[in-house]
């Protein structure tokens, strides 16, 4: 099992981590994405920041033109293959004051980091 731990809150980093996860899933590899701190905040609070206004504008334009999927579309695509599980860090949720009912419907469960590390053959940290 491959574990992708997403800590960064930059939208494009989150997007590409889910692109990697979706590709692994399509290749019939089991993959778990573990979201922590700023990644959770970006997703739950709907924050969109790629690091600069120039990057933000290029990504927005790409989505408007249909060249880039939305983050929600990318995640749902990866889940269609049946090998992708998404876990939210319970400790990060507590620190950020985020409740389970605020999480998107594509989140599978809330869990901890130790489980991710114990089960993973490979870990990718973003």
Specify the pTM: 0.92
Q: Are 125 and 7 in contact (CB under 8 A)?
A: yes
Tokens 């939305």, residue located: 70
Q: Is residue 101 part of a domain?
A: no
Q: Tell me, yes or no, whether 77 lies in a domain.
A: yes
Answer whether residue 67 is part of any domain. yes
Distance CA 59, CA 51 (A): 11
Kindly report the number of other CB atoms within 10 A of residue 29's CB atom: 16
CB 88 within 8 A of CB 110: yes
Residues of the chain with pLDDT under 70: none
**113 lies in some domain:** no
Domain that holds residue 62: 12-29+37-83
Please state the domain count of the chain: 1
Stretch (H or E) spanning 123: strand 122-125
Tens of pLDDT, residues 65-84 = 999 988 888 899 889 999 99
On whether residue 22 sits in a domain, the answer given is yes
Q: Flag whether 100 is in a domain.
A: no
């Amino acid at each position: 099992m491959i574990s992708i731990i997403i800590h960064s809150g930059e939208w494009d980093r989150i997007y590409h981590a889910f692109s990697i996860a979706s590709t692994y899933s399509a290749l019939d590899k089991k993959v778990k994405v573990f979201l922590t701190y700023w990644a959770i905040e970006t997703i739950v609070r709907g924050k969109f920041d790629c690091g600069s206004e120039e990057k933000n504008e290029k990504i927005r334009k790409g989505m408007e033109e249909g060249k880039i999927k939305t983050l929600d579309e990318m995640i749902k695509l990866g889940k269609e293959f049946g090998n992708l599980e998404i876990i939210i860090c319970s400790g990060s949720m507590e620190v950020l004051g985020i409740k389970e009912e605020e999480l998107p419907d594509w989140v599978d469960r809330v869990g901890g980091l130790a489980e991710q590390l114990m089960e993973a053959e490979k870990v990718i940290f973003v």
